[in-house]
Amino acid sequence: MKQFEEWRYLLLQNPLTLIALIVFIGVVICALFAPWLVPYDPFASDTVNALQPPSANNWFGTDQLGRDIFSRVIMGARMDLGIAVGAVALAAAIGTFLGACAGFYGGHFDQAVGRGVDIIMAFPLFVLAMAIVAGLGNNVINVVYASAIINMPFYVRVVRSEILILKNAGFVEAARLCGNSNKRILWFQLLPNVSAPLVVQMSLNMGWSMLNAASLSFVGLGIRPPTPEWGIMVAEGAHYIISGQWWVALFPGLALTLVVLCFNLLGDGLRDIIDPRRRT
Amino acid sequence: MQNSTFNLILRRLIGAIPSLFAVIVVTFMVMRLLPGDPAAFFAGAAASAEAVEQVRHQLGLNESLLTQFWIYLKDLAQGDMGKSFTTGQPVTHDLMERLPASLELTLLGLLIAIVIGLPLGMLAATRPNSWIDHLCRLLTTSGVCLPTFFTGLVLIYIFYYLLGWAPAPMGRLDLFSSPPQDVTGFYLIDSAITGEWAIFRSALAQLILPAITLALFALAPLARMTRAGMLGVLNSDFIRSAKAAGLPRRVILVRYALRNTLLPVINTMGMVLSYLLGINVLVEKVFAWPGIGSYALEALIASDYAPVQGFVLSIAVLYVLLNLVVDLVCSLIDPRVERAA
Q: By the CB < 8 Å criterion, does B165 face chain A?
A: no
Whole-number mean pLDDT of chain B?
A: 81
Q: What is the pLDDT of residues B293-321, one digit of tens each?
A: 888 888 877 777 778 888 888 888 888 88
Weakest-pLDDT range from A187-196, B150-159, B214-223: A187-196
Q: By the CB < 8 Å criterion, does B209 face chain A?
A: no
pLDDT given for residue B2 in this prediction: 57
Instruction: Verify whether the Cβ–Cβ distance A124 to B273 is below 8 Å.
Output: yes
Domain hosting residue A202, numbered range:
2-278
User: Taking CB atoms and an 8 Å cutoff, what residues of chain A touch B157?
Assistant: 241, 244, 246
End-of-domain residue from the set B19, B44, B77: B77
Same domain, B65 and B111: no
pLDDT band at B50 (very low <50, low <70, confident <90, very high): confident
Same domain, B166 and B55: no
Distance between CA atoms of residues A271 and A273, nearest Å: 5
Weakest-pLDDT range from A246-260, B161-175, B310-324: B161-175
Residue B88 lies in a domain: no
User: Taking CB atoms and an 8 Å cutoff, what residues of chain B touch A249?
Assistant: 150, 153
Residue B86 lies in a domain: no
Q: How far is A280 from chain B (nearest CA, A)?
A: 7
Q: What is the pLDDT of residues A1-15, one digit of tens each?
A: 667 777 777 777 777
Would the ipTM clear 0.85, i.e. be above it?
no
Q: Which percentage of chain A shows pLDDT scores above 90?
A: 8
- A210 or B7: which leads in pLDDT: A210
Angstrom distances, CA of residue B263 to CA of A30, B225, B329 = 44, 10, 9
- B125 or B38: which leads in pLDDT: B125
Residue A107 has pLDDT above 90, yes or no: no
Instruction: Verify whether the Cβ–Cβ distance B26 to A215 is below 8 Å.
Output: no
Distance between CA atoms of residues A104 and A161, nearest Å: 10
Weakest-pLDDT range from A117-121, A182-186, B171-175: B171-175
Same domain, B182 and B35: no
Q: How far is B29 from chain A (nearest CA, A)?
A: 9
pLDDT given for residue B252 in this prediction: 85
Angstrom distances, CA of residue A254 to CA of A73, A209, A263, B158 = 10, 17, 14, 15
pLDDT given for residue A98 in this prediction: 92
Q: What is the pLDDT of residues A139-180, one digit of tens each?
A: 888 899 999 999 999 899 888 888 888 888 888 888 888 888
Contact indicator for B321, A130 with CB cutoff of 8 Å: no
pLDDT given for residue A97 in this prediction: 92
pLDDT given for residue B33 in this prediction: 64
Residue B178 has pLDDT above 90, yes or no: no
CATH code, B320 = 1.10.3720.10
Distance between CA atoms of residues A153 and A98, nearest Å: 10
pLDDT given for residue B175 in this prediction: 67
Q: Which of A46-50, B35-39, B85-89, B121-125 has the highest mean pLDDT?
A: B121-125
Residue B198 has pLDDT above 70, yes or no: yes
Q: Where are the alpha helices (DSSP H) in chain A?
A: 2-13, 15-37, 69-105, 107-121, 125-136, 140-166, 170-177, 182-184, 191-218, 230-241, 247-274
Same domain, B229 and B284: yes
Same domain, B23 and B130: no
Residues 105-144 of B with CB under 8 A from A: 141-142, 144
What's the total number of domains in chain A? 1
Instruction: Verify whether the Cβ–Cβ distance B305 to A264 is below 8 Å.
Output: no
pLDDT given for residue B115 in this prediction: 92
Q: Supply the angle between the helices A15-37 and A247-274 in degrees, to the nearest 10.
A: 130
Instruction: Verify whether the Cβ–Cβ distance A260 to B297 is below 8 Å.
Output: no
Residue B209 has pLDDT above 60, yes or no: yes
Q: Give the best residue of B149, B272, B317 to mutate against chain A (max A CB count within 10 A).
A: B149
Residue B341 has pLDDT above 50, yes or no: no
Q: By the CB < 8 Å criterion, does B72 face chain A?
A: no
Residue B103 has pLDDT above 50, yes or no: yes
Distance between CA atoms of residues B280 and B109, nearest Å: 10
Contact indicator for B133, B127 with CB cutoff of 8 Å: yes
What's the total number of domains in chain B? 2
Q: By the CB < 8 Å criterion, does B150 face chain A?
A: yes
Over range A22-37, report the average pLDDT: 83
Measured in whole angstroms, the distance separating CA B265 from the mean position of its chain's CA atoms is 17
Same domain, B62 and B133: no
Contact indicator for A136, A149 with CB cutoff of 8 Å: no
Over range B58-86, report the average pLDDT: 77
pLDDT band at B141 (very low <50, low <70, confident <90, very high): confident
Distance between CA atoms of residues B179 and B196, nearest Å: 10
Q: By the CB < 8 Å criterion, does B16 face chain A?
A: no
Instruction: Verify whether the Cβ–Cβ distance A211 to B279 is below 8 Å.
Output: no
Domain hosting residue B255, numbered range:
93-340
Residue B83 lies in a domain: no
Q: How far is B194 from chain A (nearest CA, A)?
A: 33
Q: What is the pLDDT of residues B256-269, one digit of tens each?
A: 888 888 888 887 88
Residue B9 lies in a domain: yes
**Could you give the angle at the alpha carbon of B98 between the alpha carbons of B160 and B295, nearest 5°?**
75
Torsion angle defined by CA atoms of residues A207, A208, A213 and A214, in that order, rounded to the nearest 10 degrees: 70
Out of B30, B228, B316, whose CB is closest to A122? B316
CATH code, A62 = 1.10.3720.10
Weakest-pLDDT range from A4-8, A237-241, B68-72, B323-327: A4-8
Residues 298-337 of B with CB under 8 A from A: 300-301, 305, 308, 311-312, 315-316, 319-320
Q: By the CB < 8 Å criterion, does B35 face chain A?
A: yes
Same domain, B233 and B146: yes
Same domain, B69 and B106: no
pLDDT given for residue A174 in this prediction: 87
pLDDT given for residue B60 in this prediction: 65
Residue B37 has pLDDT above 60, yes or no: no
Q: What is the pLDDT of residues A52-102, one digit of tens each?
A: 777 777 777 777 777 777 888 888 888 888 889 999 999 999 999 999 899
Contacts of B76 (CB under 8 A, 6+ apart): B24, B313
Instruction: Verify whether the Cβ–Cβ distance A215 to B148 is below 8 Å.
Output: yes
Residue B176 lies in a domain: yes
pLDDT given for residue B47 in this prediction: 67
Same domain, B209 and B73: no
Same domain, B30 and B118: no
Q: How far is A133 from chain B (nearest CA, A)?
A: 9
- B198 or A87: which leads in pLDDT: A87
Same domain, B180 and B230: yes
